[in-house]
């Protein structure tokens, strides 16, 4: 249930939450977060239930679950032990997409006027805690729309006024001049590492500990590692998407491995900068495909 669903497009509306549930877009009938710590978050509902939420359309600052009373006031601190919050942490660390559903409420110009609307896939870019408006610690998650996720429509505001009294905008009918010879700029973007089921199995076997340097990166709410294909997928390398073609690495070793600064010998000895540094750490369930090891080594060593 992670990611897009068949026959469900961004912008699809549901008059009731039960209809969204029946379509599989957001399965819980009450909870705002659907998911588990182990598998990540499937979906969230943004419907004004938390006063600290911020909605900017393509970006949502989403307040985690927990600590509220029946009137919607925060009466205790939130924790990452909550199932929903833990699920969003996993989605952040694993680079997993989350379906976003907006419900009607007055706190956002992007909310539908009535019912619920599926607004596509967002990623959990980051998370952190702060003191909320009610004076208790809350966890918030920055949700960013994927590039192919359409920007949700802005709800038209009803303005009741005498047209004769409205100010005249002299620039309203002017067209922007544009640029006939646009220049180019160099920009740097963060690399997004998405985790497939194959990669997640390998990372789980190794408990997120790097097979090369043995580093396990500990973060609030979980640990982090990356799944690295030994033989690259796609043309011209055409490596298989199997556990035998994946290593569990820390980000540093992943970059060095992808760039050929780290290679493996047939006996799985790690060679870094042409120096042997010791054996690759292995796991009984993780059988490394030696054909992929040889193909990776041949790519970077003559």
The predicted-structure confidence for 99-146, as pLDDT tens digits, reads as follows 999 999 998 999 999 999 999 999 999 898 999 999 999 999 999 999
Residue 218 burial (CB < 10 Å; 0-12/13-18/19+)?
A: exposed
Tokens read off for 171:
């620039």
Residues 119-140 as b or e (16 or more Cβ within 10 Å = b): bbbbbbeebeeeebebebebbb
pLDDT tens, residue by residue, 230-281: 998 887 888 999 999 999 999 999 999 999 999 999 999 999 988 999 999 9
What is the share, in percent, of the chain residues with pLDDT greater than 90?
68
pTM of the predicted structure, to 2 decimals: 0.71
Contact in structure between 50 and 60 (CB atoms under 8 Å):
no
pLDDT in tens, 56-69: 999 999 999 999 89
Higher pLDDT, 137 or 162: 137
Over residues 84-104, mean pLDDT: 94
CA 66, CA 82: separation in Å to the nearest integer?
7
Q: Which of the two residues, 211 and 159, has the higher pLDDT score? A: 211
- Say what the pLDDT of residue 237 is: 85
pLDDT at position 180 over 70: no
């Amino acid at each position: 249930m992670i990611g897009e669903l068949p026959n469900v497009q961004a912008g699809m509306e549901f008059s009731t939450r039960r209809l969204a549930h029946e379509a599989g877009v957001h399965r819980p009938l009450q909870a705002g977060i659907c998911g588990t710590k182990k598998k990540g978050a499937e979906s969230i509902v943004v419907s004004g239930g938390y006063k600290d939420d911020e909605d900017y359309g393509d970006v949502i600052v989403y307040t985690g679950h927990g600590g509220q009373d029946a009137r919607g006031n925060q009466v205790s601190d939130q924790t990452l032990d909550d199932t929903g919050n833990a699920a969003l942490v996993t989605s952040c660390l694993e680079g997993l997409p989350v379906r976003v559903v907006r419900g009607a409420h007055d706190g956002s110009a992007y909310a539908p006027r009535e019912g619920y609307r599926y607004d596509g896939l967002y990623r959990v870019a980051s998370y952190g805690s702060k003191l909320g408006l009610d004076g208790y610690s809350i966890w918030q998650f920055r949700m960013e729309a994927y590039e192919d996720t359409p920007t949700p429509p802005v709800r038209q505001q009803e303005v009741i006024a005498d047209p004769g009294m409205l100010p005249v905008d002299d620039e309203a009918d002017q067209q922007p001049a544009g640029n006939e010879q646009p220049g180019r700029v160099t920009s740097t973007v963060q690399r997004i590492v998405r985790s497939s089921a194959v990669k997640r199995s390998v990372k789980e076997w190794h408990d997120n500990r790097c097979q090369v340097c043995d580093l396990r990166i500990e973060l609030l709410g979980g640990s982090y590692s990356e799944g690295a294909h030994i033989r690259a997928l796609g043309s011209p390398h055409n490596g298989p998407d199997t556990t035998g073609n994946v290593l569990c690495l820390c980000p540093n070793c992943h970059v060095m491995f992808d760039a050929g600064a780290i290679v493996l010998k047939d006996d799985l000895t790690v060679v870094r900068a042409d120096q042997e540094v010791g054996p690759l750490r292995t796991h009984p369930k993780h059988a490394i495909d030696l054909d992929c090891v040889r193909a990776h080594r041949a790519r970077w060593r003559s």
